[in-house]
Chains A and B, each alone.
Chain A
Amino acid sequence: MSSPSSWIRNLTPITESLLAGVVGLVIGAFIMLAFGYNPLAAYRSLFVGSVGSVYSWAELFANATPLILTALTFAIAMRGGLFNIGAEGQLYMGALAAVSVSLLHLPAPFNWIVAILAAMVAGMIWSLPVALLKLGRGVHEVISTIMFNWIAHFFAFYLIANVLTDPQRGERTIAVSESARLTRVFPDATLSSGLFISLVTVGVIFFLLWRTSTGFEIRSVGYNPHASHYAGISIRKQVLRVFLIGGAIAGLAGAIVVMGRPPYYAVLSGLPQLVNLGFDGIGVAMIGRNHPIGIVFAAIFFGGLMTGGRIMQFDPGVPFELVRVIQGVIILALAIPELRRLFFLARERLAGRK
């Protein structure tokens, strides 16, 4: 009965995630075979491309950085029993807020902090209506977050083309002022100090969930709202909390992408550097079992697939879509243990257990 080690116990599904990864790669290999590619060569270049050099490691971590954050957004909501798939839209808003701060021409030591805070607030503002709709009208968060993702999508197009437009280049916004850009860790790679901001956030969320009364309440409501109500925990308050915290983290992700990824430091029309980061975060969170530590490893894995997947296109010529297929299969494979549990539960029910 010693010190708490709940996080270790929460990581025990680690084997399930690893197995799902293997299943994904194996099925991916069969698909490549079916389409006439050489899976061994493909995986070799995937592997070399993602972890073969210091440069590729740096790219891998650069790709993982925003995924860690968007996965945290999803995970904290899942811990609280909610299905928040709104990171995508909150991320756009965060990126645009961070860019717009450079209009203010703030002095150097503060402007990056202000930009990050503005992005977090923008993410929170974007998640607030979702929480209020749920509390006030019982609107399911899946519906409202999808809708708000699209609103954000087209609102971003509008802002890029009309409000935050770069006077020289109409297809992009103004750039983040140079003093507000996040430091690059390696001269040529896109990895920035944003990685450390992500990792600090991981630590903060870990602490919040397992070492504070706030996290206690979130987890309790997520597991059992009835017992939580009985214990005097306000369920409505947790809904608000989970969405606001999630929104802030997703907004932060947007800021880090736009402030830390060369060469443009601006939001491009069509949002190429932002699109899907929010949705990929859902997959990362699921592979990481909604645990902050698990999410870091899952994000590294996803980051590797993205980095190596590009190389895979050049050399053996396997289309990037196949990397997407592998990601999809892994996520499906992750559902297998859950299906097994449901199956046994159903059998127990039939055998007459209440």
Chain B
Amino acid sequence: MKTRSDSGPVLDKGDVLLEARGLSKGFPGVWEHLILDQLDFDVRSGEVHTLLGENGAGKTVIANILSGYYEKTEGEIRVKGKLVHFRSPREGLAHGIAMVHQELMLVPAFTVAENIMVGLDAPLFSYGIAGVEKRIQRLVERYGLQVDPKARVEDLSAGQQQRVEILKVLFHEPEVLLLDEPTSLLTPSEADQLFVVLRAMADDGKGIVFISHKMREVFAVSDRVTVLKLGKTQGTCQIAETNEDELTRRTFGETVPDYMERPEVAHEELALNTIEMVPSGLEKKPNSQGISLKIRCGEIMGLAGVSGNGQTELIEAVTGLVPPASGEVWILNADMTGRTPKEFIERGVAHIPERRREIGIVEQMHVAENVVLKDYRKTPFSKNTVLRHQQISSHAEKIVEKFNALVPDLWQTECRILSGGNIQRLILGRETWRKPPVIIASHPTEGLDAKAIRHTWELFLALRAEGSAVLLVSEDLDEIMSLSDRIAVMFEGKIMGIVDGKGADREILGHWMAGGTASAA
């Protein structure tokens, strides 16, 4: 570690500390588009510069590249005008660039000072614990971080642990601090305290990059804000020169999606009905509420929301993957609360999962096996537990053909070598061929090309016409607005409101997604 004096280097306010030009990043095979596309970004001394965008917009990736965790595919990065190329976070740190990750990476049984020593490389023995504690104390006082260096981490609250993470990087005297959604674990008042700290660090001449998707926070702390959408910047502006409506529009897009016209399907029967249901994992959140969501047969319900607001937990509850903490789940007039995933499948609940590689398929098994992952135990695919390969083959062939999946061989190809888009095609085929009465679809078109997206939308409408109910969970408002008969918005585990899909007001949805309480006109 380079030891700089504790007073820090003298910086002129307004100097550009870190600058990226034409930054691009692709994850070949995982995403069919670039995750960052020709991005320009800079941060200056004395400012808090917020990166605002939906999940998947590329905010975390930028921070990871700027701090040396990821390598860029294209573009250049300059630190105080000097061209740099980081091959590791350590090199970033040596140039004064530090990142605080979203997740906490602390050893619970260690004290604050011990945790910070873990990150110091060379002088493990020459740096006595007392000296470390003293330095921590000085940093604590300088920025108002309020942590006892001798306290054990496991005794600290999430907010205090977050401060330890910040102290950990502050110890290296960085000039630029990148914080990836640092408020996700904090209560609103803890977040406000964090903002005071960020301001103090900026006033000290550091450049702060603050990543968030919450509008309230953006206005509480930023000097400038850059909006990201699908890896592209939607412009940078001074916070004083913008307002919430404008940022919402930039974040969630402006184009009016074409609502896909469809005939009225009048079913009274409820396909999916949750009664005051609190999904497991949400019950510990402050003021958690029961979710009562009713979807009729022949109806597409869009569930909009920035991911991480309880959608995953809701899906786990209505597919039987994790029983809810309280309340009831009914499928087609049967109480399914506490039933197994198998019983949900047999009741007719299809599930197109979000994490398709991790959950949707068994990567090491072959294409044909994955196509019958939920049907292998039923006729005609097995008889008296003996698998019937002929039947499986011809069925898999049909699915592959119908969904245009690019598959070298049904029995030779392991699913792990397929691209995300092709895996999604197989999953869509597997989950819909039986025309299930309930379809839970999470980001069903992510990774697909425009033509396949269109096909998928048409497929959902066709299934709807035959009486299937669809719960469409997506962050893509365009998709939700094109497909949904009704749209519900989820924020922090709660349904903020439900509107009709036809003629839905994008701005109201955006407000709800950001935690606003504006009411539909």
Contacts and interface: CB of A to CB of B under 8 A. Distances in A.
Interface of A: 1-6, 9, 211-214, 216, 219-220, 223-224, 226-234, 350-354
Given A213-B387, A230-B351, A231-B373, A223 B365 contact: yes
Contacts of A213: 376-377, 382, 385-387
Give the interface size class of chain B.
35 or more
A220 B373 contact: yes
Contacts of A229: 321, 341
A232 B369 contact: no
Nearest to B65: A352
B389 A4 contact: yes
Nearest to A9: B412
Nearest to A228: B362
A231 B363 CA distance: 14
Interface stretch (B137-145, B300-308, B353-361): B353-361
Contacts of A228: 362
B69 A216 contact: no
A232 B409 contact: no
23 contacts: A4-B368, A6-B366, A6-B411, A211-B387, A213-B385, A220-B365, A223-B362, A226-B359, A227-B359, A227-B360, A230-B351, A230-B353, A230-B359, A231-B373, A232-B343, A232-B345, A233-B342, A352-B25, A352-B27, A352-B69, A352-B71, A354-B27, A354-B30
Nearest to B370: A227
B364 interface: yes
A1 B410 contact: yes
Nearest to A352: B70
A212 B386 CA distance: 4
A351 B71 contact: yes
A159 B471 CA distance: 63
A234 B340 contact: yes
Given A3-B389, A211-B386, A227 B64 contact: no
B216 interface: no
B386 A353 contact: no
A219 B365 contact: yes
A223 B362 CA distance: 7
A131 B502 CA distance: 55
Contacts of A232: 340-346, 374
B184 interface: no
Instruction: Pick from A4, A6, A351 the residue with the most CB of B within 10 Å.
Output: A4
Given A211-B386, A232-B343, 13 more contacts: A1-B393, A3-B411, A9-B412, A213-B386, A216-B369, A220-B365, A224-B364, A230-B321, A230-B360, A232-B341, A232-B346, A234-B340, A354-B27
Contacts of A227: 358-362, 373
B424 to A, nearest CB: 14
Interface string B50-79: 000000000000001100011100000000
A5 B376 contact: no
Nearest to B73: A352
Contacts of B365: 219-220, 223
Nearest to A220: B362
B476 to A, nearest CB: 19
B64 A352 contact: yes
Nearest to B358: A226
B397 interface: yes
B77 to A, nearest CB: 14
A297 to B, nearest CB: 23
Given A211-B386, A213-B385, A227-B373, A353 B27 contact: yes
A214 B385 contact: yes
Contacts of A212: 382, 385-387
Contacts of B341: 229-232
5 A-B pairs with the lowest CB-CB distances in the bound complex, closest first: A232-B342, A352-B70, A223-B364, A224-B362, A4-B411
Interface in B308-326: 319, 321
A260 to B, nearest CB: 31
B412 to A, nearest CB: 6
Nearest to A210: B387
A227 B356 CA distance: 9
Nearest to B360: A227
Contacts of A224: 358, 361-364
A48 B365 CA distance: 42
Contacts of A5: 411-412
Nearest to B343: A232
A212 B377 CA distance: 9
- Residue of B27, B65, B346 contacting most chain A CB atoms (<10 Å): B27
Contacts of A226: 358-359
Nearest to B351: A230
A229 B344 CA distance: 12
Nearest to B344: A232
Interface string B376-394: 1100001001110100010
A51 B399 CA distance: 52
A337 to B, nearest CB: 16
A227 B376 CA distance: 14
A353 B35 CA distance: 11
Contacts of B351: 230
Contacts of B393: 1, 3
B309 to A, nearest CB: 21
Contacts of A211: 386-387, 389
A53 to B, nearest CB: 42
A181 B359 CA distance: 51
Contacts of A350: 88
A353 B30 contact: yes
Contact of A1 (B69, B386, B409): B409
A171 to B, nearest CB: 47
B389 A216 contact: no
Contact of A223 (B64, B363, B389): B363
